[in-house]
Amino acid sequence: MNATQTQNEDGETVRFDGAALKLDCGVTLETLELAYRTYGTLNKDKSNAILICHALTGDQHPAGDNPLTGKPGWWTQVVGPGGIIDTDKYFVICSNVLGGCGGSTGPQSGNPETGKPYGLDFPVITIADMVRAQNLLIDHLGIESLFCVIGGSMGGMQVLQWAAAHSDRIFSAVPIATSARHSSQNIAFHEVGRQAILADPEWHGGAYYATDAHPRKGLAVARMAAHITYLSEAALQRKFGRNLQDREAISYGFDADFQIESYLRHQGMTFVERFDANSYLYITRAMDYFDIAAENGGNLAAAFNGTATRFCVMSFTSDWLFPTPESVNLVRALNAAGANVSFVEIESDKGHDAFLLDEPEMHATLSGFLQAAAQARGLENGGRDD
Protein backbone atom coordinates (compact mmCIF):
# COMPACT_ATOMS: atom_id res chain seq x y z
CA MET A 1 0.00 0.00 0.00
CA ASN A 2 1.29 3.44 -1.00
CA ALA A 3 0.71 6.63 0.92
CA THR A 4 0.82 10.03 -0.78
CA GLN A 5 0.72 13.22 1.22
CA THR A 6 -0.68 16.48 -0.08
CA GLN A 7 -1.02 19.86 1.57
CA ASN A 8 -4.23 21.79 0.92
CA GLU A 9 -5.43 25.19 1.94
CA ASP A 10 -7.60 23.63 4.65
CA GLY A 11 -5.16 21.08 6.07
CA GLU A 12 -3.50 17.95 4.84
CA THR A 13 -4.69 14.93 2.94
CA VAL A 14 -3.13 11.51 2.82
CA ARG A 15 -4.06 9.12 0.06
CA PHE A 16 -3.60 5.36 0.47
CA ASP A 17 -3.56 3.30 -2.71
CA GLY A 18 -3.74 -0.45 -3.21
CA ALA A 19 -6.38 -2.35 -1.22
CA ALA A 20 -6.31 0.47 1.27
CA LEU A 21 -9.17 -0.47 3.55
CA LYS A 22 -11.21 -3.64 4.03
CA LEU A 23 -14.65 -2.67 5.32
CA ASP A 24 -17.04 -4.53 7.63
CA CYS A 25 -19.55 -4.89 4.78
CA GLY A 26 -17.03 -6.99 2.85
CA VAL A 27 -16.05 -4.38 0.27
CA THR A 28 -12.43 -3.28 -0.02
CA LEU A 29 -11.75 0.36 -0.82
CA GLU A 30 -8.81 0.36 -3.22
CA THR A 31 -8.15 4.01 -2.56
CA LEU A 32 -8.70 5.90 0.66
CA GLU A 33 -8.20 9.60 1.23
CA LEU A 34 -8.20 11.12 4.69
CA ALA A 35 -8.27 14.86 5.23
CA TYR A 36 -6.81 15.87 8.57
CA ARG A 37 -5.33 18.65 10.66
CA THR A 38 -2.56 18.56 13.22
CA TYR A 39 -1.73 21.10 15.89
CA GLY A 40 1.42 21.31 18.00
CA THR A 41 4.58 19.24 17.72
CA LEU A 42 5.15 15.52 18.06
CA ASN A 43 7.86 14.92 20.69
CA LYS A 44 10.93 12.71 20.13
CA ASP A 45 9.36 9.72 21.86
CA LYS A 46 6.19 10.23 19.82
CA SER A 47 4.32 9.84 23.09
CA ASN A 48 2.35 13.10 23.25
CA ALA A 49 -0.19 12.58 20.46
CA ILE A 50 -3.89 13.11 21.12
CA LEU A 51 -6.47 12.04 18.55
CA ILE A 52 -9.71 14.01 18.60
CA CYS A 53 -12.69 12.25 17.00
CA HIS A 54 -15.43 14.49 15.68
CA ALA A 55 -19.18 14.00 15.94
CA LEU A 56 -21.75 13.32 13.17
CA THR A 57 -21.61 16.72 11.51
CA GLY A 58 -18.20 17.81 12.78
CA ASP A 59 -15.00 18.17 10.80
CA GLN A 60 -11.22 18.04 11.12
CA HIS A 61 -10.97 21.60 12.45
CA PRO A 62 -11.52 21.52 16.24
CA ALA A 63 -9.02 24.30 17.02
CA GLY A 64 -7.99 27.60 15.52
CA ASP A 65 -10.06 28.94 12.66
CA ASN A 66 -11.74 26.76 10.09
CA PRO A 67 -9.83 27.80 6.95
CA LEU A 68 -12.87 27.24 4.73
CA THR A 69 -15.40 29.26 6.70
CA GLY A 70 -13.09 31.58 8.62
CA LYS A 71 -15.11 30.73 11.74
CA PRO A 72 -13.57 29.32 14.95
CA GLY A 73 -13.13 25.53 15.11
CA TRP A 74 -15.83 23.46 16.79
CA TRP A 75 -13.92 22.82 20.04
CA THR A 76 -11.88 25.95 20.63
CA GLN A 77 -13.27 25.98 24.20
CA VAL A 78 -11.06 22.96 24.87
CA VAL A 79 -8.33 22.72 22.21
CA GLY A 80 -5.65 25.33 21.57
CA PRO A 81 -2.42 26.87 22.84
CA GLY A 82 -2.60 26.93 26.64
CA GLY A 83 -6.00 25.22 26.50
CA ILE A 84 -7.21 22.16 28.32
CA ILE A 85 -5.93 20.09 25.41
CA ASP A 86 -2.86 22.27 25.18
CA THR A 87 -1.44 22.34 21.66
CA ASP A 88 1.77 23.80 23.14
CA LYS A 89 2.25 20.49 24.95
CA TYR A 90 0.45 17.90 22.90
CA PHE A 91 0.47 16.91 19.25
CA VAL A 92 -3.22 17.01 18.38
CA ILE A 93 -4.61 15.15 15.37
CA CYS A 94 -8.13 15.34 13.97
CA SER A 95 -9.25 13.70 10.74
CA ASN A 96 -12.47 13.97 8.80
CA VAL A 97 -14.24 10.62 9.21
CA LEU A 98 -14.47 8.05 6.46
CA GLY A 99 -17.79 8.74 4.71
CA GLY A 100 -17.60 12.43 5.59
CA CYS A 101 -17.72 15.40 3.28
CA GLY A 102 -14.72 17.36 4.56
CA GLY A 103 -12.22 15.91 2.13
CA SER A 104 -12.04 12.28 3.25
CA THR A 105 -13.30 9.47 1.04
CA GLY A 106 -17.10 9.43 1.06
CA PRO A 107 -20.12 9.13 -1.21
CA GLN A 108 -19.17 12.32 -3.07
CA SER A 109 -15.68 10.97 -3.91
CA GLY A 110 -14.89 9.61 -7.34
CA ASN A 111 -15.67 5.92 -7.80
CA PRO A 112 -12.52 4.47 -9.44
CA GLU A 113 -14.67 2.00 -11.39
CA THR A 114 -16.85 4.61 -13.06
CA GLY A 115 -14.90 7.82 -12.69
CA LYS A 116 -18.09 9.42 -11.34
CA PRO A 117 -18.98 10.24 -7.73
CA TYR A 118 -20.00 7.13 -5.80
CA GLY A 119 -23.40 8.32 -4.63
CA LEU A 120 -25.26 5.29 -3.35
CA ASP A 121 -22.61 2.96 -4.83
CA PHE A 122 -20.45 3.94 -1.89
CA PRO A 123 -20.29 0.94 0.46
CA VAL A 124 -22.05 1.17 3.80
CA ILE A 125 -19.49 1.96 6.48
CA THR A 126 -19.32 1.40 10.23
CA ILE A 127 -17.74 3.15 13.19
CA ALA A 128 -15.13 0.36 13.18
CA ASP A 129 -14.30 1.23 9.56
CA MET A 130 -13.83 4.90 10.52
CA VAL A 131 -11.44 3.80 13.26
CA ARG A 132 -9.55 1.46 10.91
CA ALA A 133 -9.02 4.44 8.63
CA GLN A 134 -7.74 6.49 11.58
CA ASN A 135 -5.33 3.65 12.40
CA LEU A 136 -3.87 3.97 8.90
CA LEU A 137 -3.38 7.68 9.49
CA ILE A 138 -1.68 7.10 12.85
CA ASP A 139 0.60 4.52 11.18
CA HIS A 140 1.34 7.03 8.44
CA LEU A 141 2.30 9.65 11.04
CA GLY A 142 4.73 7.12 12.56
CA ILE A 143 2.93 7.01 15.91
CA GLU A 144 2.78 3.66 17.66
CA SER A 145 0.76 4.65 20.69
CA LEU A 146 -1.56 7.60 21.20
CA PHE A 147 -1.49 9.37 24.54
CA CYS A 148 -5.24 9.88 24.38
CA VAL A 149 -8.27 9.49 22.14
CA ILE A 150 -11.07 11.95 22.90
CA GLY A 151 -14.48 12.55 21.42
CA GLY A 152 -18.12 13.34 22.15
CA SER A 153 -21.26 11.73 20.76
CA MET A 154 -20.25 9.84 17.57
CA GLY A 155 -16.68 10.89 18.42
CA GLY A 156 -17.17 9.02 21.70
CA MET A 157 -18.27 5.94 19.78
CA GLN A 158 -14.99 6.06 17.87
CA VAL A 159 -13.13 6.40 21.17
CA LEU A 160 -14.86 3.25 22.47
CA GLN A 161 -14.12 1.42 19.24
CA TRP A 162 -10.44 2.36 19.60
CA ALA A 163 -10.52 1.06 23.18
CA ALA A 164 -12.25 -2.18 22.19
CA ALA A 165 -10.22 -3.01 19.08
CA HIS A 166 -6.89 -1.21 19.46
CA SER A 167 -6.41 -0.75 23.21
CA ASP A 168 -2.67 -1.48 22.90
CA ARG A 169 -2.37 1.72 20.87
CA ILE A 170 -4.12 4.09 23.28
CA PHE A 171 -2.86 5.09 26.72
CA SER A 172 -6.05 6.86 27.73
CA ALA A 173 -9.57 7.35 26.42
CA VAL A 174 -12.20 10.03 27.02
CA PRO A 175 -15.63 9.07 25.68
CA ILE A 176 -18.04 11.97 26.30
CA ALA A 177 -21.85 12.00 26.02
CA THR A 178 -21.87 8.72 24.18
CA SER A 179 -22.86 5.07 24.36
CA ALA A 180 -21.50 1.63 23.54
CA ARG A 181 -24.56 1.13 21.34
CA HIS A 182 -27.01 3.33 19.49
CA SER A 183 -30.40 3.10 21.20
CA SER A 184 -33.68 2.30 19.51
CA GLN A 185 -34.84 5.88 20.06
CA ASN A 186 -31.67 7.24 18.46
CA ILE A 187 -32.04 4.95 15.44
CA ALA A 188 -35.63 6.19 15.19
CA PHE A 189 -34.56 9.85 15.03
CA HIS A 190 -31.94 9.03 12.42
CA GLU A 191 -34.52 7.20 10.34
CA VAL A 192 -36.73 10.29 10.34
CA GLY A 193 -33.82 12.36 9.06
CA ARG A 194 -32.91 9.88 6.37
CA GLN A 195 -36.50 9.57 5.18
CA ALA A 196 -36.67 13.35 4.84
CA ILE A 197 -33.64 13.24 2.52
CA LEU A 198 -34.92 10.24 0.53
CA ALA A 199 -38.31 11.94 0.07
CA ASP A 200 -36.74 15.04 -1.49
CA PRO A 201 -37.12 14.84 -5.30
CA GLU A 202 -33.80 16.66 -5.60
CA TRP A 203 -32.07 13.64 -4.11
CA HIS A 204 -32.26 11.70 -7.41
CA GLY A 205 -31.52 8.34 -5.82
CA GLY A 206 -28.30 9.78 -4.46
CA ALA A 207 -26.95 10.67 -7.92
CA TYR A 208 -27.44 14.42 -7.59
CA TYR A 209 -23.77 15.34 -7.91
CA ALA A 210 -23.87 15.56 -11.74
CA THR A 211 -26.81 17.98 -11.58
CA ASP A 212 -27.21 21.32 -9.88
CA ALA A 213 -29.59 19.65 -7.51
CA HIS A 214 -28.97 18.96 -3.83
CA PRO A 215 -31.72 17.66 -1.56
CA ARG A 216 -31.58 20.85 0.45
CA LYS A 217 -35.08 20.67 1.86
CA GLY A 218 -34.78 17.04 2.94
CA LEU A 219 -31.38 17.58 4.50
CA ALA A 220 -32.59 20.75 6.25
CA VAL A 221 -35.55 18.88 7.77
CA ALA A 222 -33.20 16.09 8.87
CA ARG A 223 -31.01 18.69 10.56
CA MET A 224 -33.97 20.42 12.19
CA ALA A 225 -35.25 17.16 13.69
CA ALA A 226 -31.77 16.16 14.85
CA HIS A 227 -31.04 19.58 16.28
CA ILE A 228 -33.99 19.27 18.67
CA THR A 229 -32.41 16.09 20.07
CA TYR A 230 -29.17 17.96 20.79
CA LEU A 231 -30.90 20.45 23.09
CA SER A 232 -32.85 20.02 26.30
CA GLU A 233 -36.41 21.07 26.91
CA ALA A 234 -35.14 23.42 29.63
CA ALA A 235 -32.61 25.04 27.29
CA LEU A 236 -35.23 25.56 24.58
CA GLN A 237 -37.62 27.07 27.11
CA ARG A 238 -34.92 29.33 28.51
CA LYS A 239 -33.69 30.47 25.12
CA PHE A 240 -36.96 30.78 23.17
CA GLY A 241 -39.95 30.06 25.36
CA ARG A 242 -43.05 30.91 23.32
CA ASN A 243 -41.50 34.16 22.07
CA LEU A 244 -42.71 35.39 18.70
CA GLN A 245 -40.35 36.08 15.81
CA ASP A 246 -40.32 39.72 14.59
CA ARG A 247 -44.05 40.15 15.19
CA GLU A 248 -46.46 41.31 17.84
CA ALA A 249 -49.07 38.61 17.41
CA ILE A 250 -49.55 35.19 15.88
CA SER A 251 -50.27 35.28 12.15
CA TYR A 252 -52.86 32.53 11.80
CA GLY A 253 -50.64 30.94 9.15
CA PHE A 254 -47.68 28.63 8.77
CA ASP A 255 -44.95 31.20 8.66
CA ALA A 256 -42.35 31.03 11.42
CA ASP A 257 -44.40 32.75 14.11
CA PHE A 258 -42.27 31.47 16.95
CA GLN A 259 -38.60 32.15 17.52
CA ILE A 260 -37.91 28.45 17.91
CA GLU A 261 -39.29 27.82 14.39
CA SER A 262 -37.17 30.55 12.92
CA TYR A 263 -34.13 29.21 14.78
CA LEU A 264 -34.65 25.67 13.51
CA ARG A 265 -35.19 26.87 9.94
CA HIS A 266 -31.95 28.82 10.17
CA GLN A 267 -30.14 25.74 11.53
CA GLY A 268 -31.48 23.67 8.64
CA MET A 269 -30.60 26.23 5.98
CA THR A 270 -27.05 26.86 7.14
CA PHE A 271 -26.41 23.15 7.55
CA VAL A 272 -27.11 22.33 3.89
CA GLU A 273 -24.44 24.84 2.89
CA ARG A 274 -21.77 22.81 4.62
CA PHE A 275 -22.93 19.19 4.54
CA ASP A 276 -23.55 16.54 1.92
CA ALA A 277 -26.89 14.71 2.08
CA ASN A 278 -25.44 11.32 1.14
CA SER A 279 -22.73 11.69 3.79
CA TYR A 280 -25.53 12.30 6.27
CA LEU A 281 -27.19 9.04 5.21
CA TYR A 282 -23.98 7.01 5.48
CA ILE A 283 -22.71 8.43 8.74
CA THR A 284 -26.06 8.16 10.56
CA ARG A 285 -26.21 4.53 9.37
CA ALA A 286 -22.75 3.86 10.80
CA MET A 287 -23.96 5.17 14.17
CA ASP A 288 -27.09 3.01 14.03
CA TYR A 289 -25.02 -0.12 13.42
CA PHE A 290 -22.76 0.61 16.39
CA ASP A 291 -23.09 -1.97 19.17
CA ILE A 292 -19.86 -3.07 20.83
CA ALA A 293 -21.53 -5.64 23.09
CA ALA A 294 -23.16 -7.41 20.12
CA GLU A 295 -19.73 -8.01 18.66
CA ASN A 296 -18.72 -9.72 21.90
CA GLY A 297 -21.60 -12.14 22.34
CA GLY A 298 -23.70 -9.55 24.13
CA ASN A 299 -21.05 -9.06 26.82
CA LEU A 300 -19.86 -5.46 26.83
CA ALA A 301 -17.21 -6.10 29.48
CA ALA A 302 -15.60 -8.75 27.25
CA ALA A 303 -14.79 -6.01 24.74
CA PHE A 304 -12.51 -4.35 27.28
CA ASN A 305 -11.11 -7.32 29.21
CA GLY A 306 -7.54 -6.83 30.33
CA THR A 307 -7.33 -3.30 28.92
CA ALA A 308 -4.54 -1.13 30.30
CA THR A 309 -6.15 2.04 28.94
CA ARG A 310 -7.21 4.69 31.48
CA PHE A 311 -10.78 5.85 30.89
CA CYS A 312 -12.61 9.04 31.77
CA VAL A 313 -16.32 8.75 30.97
CA MET A 314 -18.51 11.86 31.07
CA SER A 315 -22.24 12.42 30.68
CA PHE A 316 -24.59 15.38 31.16
CA THR A 317 -27.70 15.45 33.33
CA SER A 318 -29.95 16.98 30.65
CA ASP A 319 -28.67 14.90 27.70
CA TRP A 320 -31.62 12.76 26.63
CA LEU A 321 -30.01 11.61 23.38
CA PHE A 322 -27.14 9.83 25.15
CA PRO A 323 -28.49 9.84 28.71
CA THR A 324 -26.41 9.06 31.80
CA PRO A 325 -27.67 5.44 32.13
CA GLU A 326 -25.84 4.69 28.85
CA SER A 327 -22.62 5.88 30.44
CA VAL A 328 -23.36 4.04 33.69
CA ASN A 329 -23.82 0.86 31.68
CA LEU A 330 -20.45 1.45 30.03
CA VAL A 331 -18.73 2.22 33.33
CA ARG A 332 -20.09 -0.95 34.94
CA ALA A 333 -18.73 -2.97 32.01
CA LEU A 334 -15.36 -1.25 32.30
CA ASN A 335 -15.28 -1.98 36.04
CA ALA A 336 -16.15 -5.60 35.35
CA ALA A 337 -13.25 -5.68 32.89
CA GLY A 338 -10.95 -4.40 35.64
CA ALA A 339 -10.29 -1.17 33.74
CA ASN A 340 -8.99 2.01 35.32
CA VAL A 341 -12.05 4.21 34.92
CA SER A 342 -13.28 7.58 36.13
CA PHE A 343 -16.87 8.60 35.60
CA VAL A 344 -18.41 12.01 36.05
CA GLU A 345 -21.95 13.15 35.39
CA ILE A 346 -21.93 16.89 34.75
CA GLU A 347 -24.85 19.02 35.93
CA SER A 348 -26.00 21.02 32.91
CA ASP A 349 -29.30 22.06 31.36
CA LYS A 350 -27.81 22.41 27.87
CA GLY A 351 -28.63 18.90 26.67
CA HIS A 352 -26.45 16.73 24.44
CA ASP A 353 -24.62 19.70 22.90
CA ALA A 354 -23.23 20.61 26.34
CA PHE A 355 -19.98 18.83 25.50
CA LEU A 356 -19.28 21.46 22.82
CA LEU A 357 -20.10 24.40 25.08
CA ASP A 358 -18.59 26.27 28.00
CA GLU A 359 -18.98 23.72 30.80
CA PRO A 360 -16.43 24.53 33.54
CA GLU A 361 -17.04 21.26 35.40
CA MET A 362 -16.38 19.22 32.27
CA HIS A 363 -13.27 21.25 31.59
CA ALA A 364 -11.99 20.77 35.16
CA THR A 365 -12.60 17.04 34.91
CA LEU A 366 -10.87 16.70 31.55
CA SER A 367 -7.97 18.83 32.71
CA GLY A 368 -7.45 16.82 35.92
CA PHE A 369 -7.72 13.51 34.10
CA LEU A 370 -5.25 14.53 31.38
CA GLN A 371 -2.73 15.85 33.91
CA ALA A 372 -2.84 12.63 35.92
CA ALA A 373 -2.59 10.53 32.75
CA ALA A 374 0.33 12.64 31.49
CA GLN A 375 2.11 12.06 34.77
CA ALA A 376 1.48 8.32 34.54
CA ARG A 377 2.88 8.36 30.99
CA GLY A 378 5.97 10.26 32.06
CA LEU A 379 4.95 13.42 30.21
CA GLU A 380 5.76 15.69 33.16
CA ASN A 381 6.91 18.30 30.72
CA GLY A 382 3.52 17.99 29.14
CA GLY A 383 5.17 16.13 26.29
CA ARG A 384 7.58 18.80 25.11
CA ASP A 385 11.16 17.78 24.51
CA ASP A 386 12.65 20.76 26.37
Partner 1 sequence: MIDPKANAAGNLAADRIDLQLIADMVAPGSKVLDIGCGDGTLLELLVKQHGVDARGLELSQSGVNNCVARGLSVVQGNADTDLSYYPDNGFDTVILSQTLQATQRPHDVLREMARIGKRLIVSIPNFGHWRVRLDLLVKGRMPVTGTLNASWYETANIHLCTLTDFTQLCDVLGLSVESCTTLSRGKAKALPGRTTRRANLLAEQGVFVLTRS
What positions carry a catalytic annotation? 153, 319, 352
Tell me how far, at minimum, the Cβ of 367 lies from partner 1, in Å: 7
What whole-number distance in Å separates Cα of residue 173 and Cα of residue 150? 6
For 203, left (φ over 0), alpha (ψ -120 to 50), or beta?
alpha
For CA atoms 49, 52, 53, 58, give the dihedral sign: negative
Residue 358 near partner 1 by CB under 8 A? no
Considering only residues 71 to 130 of the shown chain, the ones binding partner 1 according to CB under 8 A are none
Phi, psi (degrees; rounded to nearest 5) at 303:
-65, -25
User: What gap in Å lies between CA 10 and CA 301, rounded to an integer?
Assistant: 40
Answer for which of 342, 349, 382, 384 binds partner 1 (CB under 8 A) is 342
Site string for partner 1, 167-206 (x = CB under 8 A): ----------------------------------------
For residue 196, give the H/E element and its range. Answer: helix 184-198
Is position 51 an interface residue for partner 1 (rule: CB under 8 A)?
no
42 vs 333, beta carbon nearer partner 1: 333
Toward partner 1, which CB reaches closer, 245 or 342?
342
CA distance 243 to 269: 21
User: Using CA atoms, how far apart are residues 385 and 99, in angstroms rounded to an integer?
Assistant: 36
Asked if residue 347 binds partner 1 (CB under 8 A), the reply is yes
* Closest CB 224 distance from partner 1, rounded Å: 33
How many C-beta atoms lie closer than 10 Å to residue 150's C-beta?
Answer: 29
Gap between the Cα atoms of 378 and 178, Å rounded? 29
Q: Is 295 in the site for partner 1 (CB under 8 A)?
A: no
Q: How far is the CB of 352 from partner 1 (least distance, A)?
A: 19
159 touches partner 1 (CB under 8 A):
no
Cβ nearer to partner 1, comparing 56 with 173: 173
Query: Please, what is the minimum distance in Å from the beta carbon of residue 342 to partner 1?
Result: 4
Q: Is 223 annotated as a binding residue?
A: yes
How far apart (Å, rounded) are the C-alpha atoms in residues 233 and 237? 6
Q: Contact region for partner 1 (CB under 8 A) — 96-104, 257-265, 268-276, 365-373?
A: 365-373
Residue 331 binding partner 1, by CB under 8 A = yes
308 binds partner 1 (CB under 8 A): no
H or E segment to which residue 365 belongs: helix 360-376
The least distance separating partner 1 from the CB of residue 175, rounded to whole angstroms, comes to 14
The CA dihedral of 111, 114, 116, 121, to the nearest 10 degrees, is -50
CB of residue 377 to partner 1, shortest distance in Å: 12
Q: Which of 19, 188, 250, 364 binds partner 1 (CB under 8 A)?
A: 364
C-alpha–C-alpha distance, residues 239 and 232, integer Å: 11
In SS3 terms, 113-179 reads as CCCCECHHHCCCCCHHHHHHHHHHHHHHCCCCCEEEEEEECHHHHHHHHHHHHCHHHEEEEEEECCC
365 part of the interface to partner 1, by CB under 8 A: yes
For residue 215, count other CB atoms closer than 10 A to its CB. Answer: 26
Q: Does 302 bind partner 1 (CB under 8 A)?
A: no
| Selected range binding partner 1 among 79-87, 238-246, 272-280, 308-316, rule: CB under 8 A | 308-316
Find the part of the chain contacting partner 1 (CB under 8 A) among 120-128, 229-237, 247-255, 335-343.
335-343
Task: Check if the beta carbon of residue 366 is closer than 8 Å to that of residue 84.
Answer: yes
Identity at 128, one-letter amino acid code: A
Going from the C-alpha of 84 to that of each of 125, 286, 381, 382, the distances in angstroms are 32, 30, 15, 12
- Say if residue 353 carries a ligand binding annotation: yes
Judged by CB under 8 A, the stretch of 20-28, 133-141, 195-203, 366-374 that binds partner 1 is 366-374
Distance of closest approach, residue 220 Cβ to partner 1, in angstroms: 38
Q: Which residues bind partner 1 (CB under 8 A)?
A: 310, 312-313, 331-333, 335-338, 340-347, 361, 364-365, 367-369, 371-373, 375
Residues comprising the binding site? Answer: 223, 353
Residues comprising the binding site for substrate? Answer: 223, 353
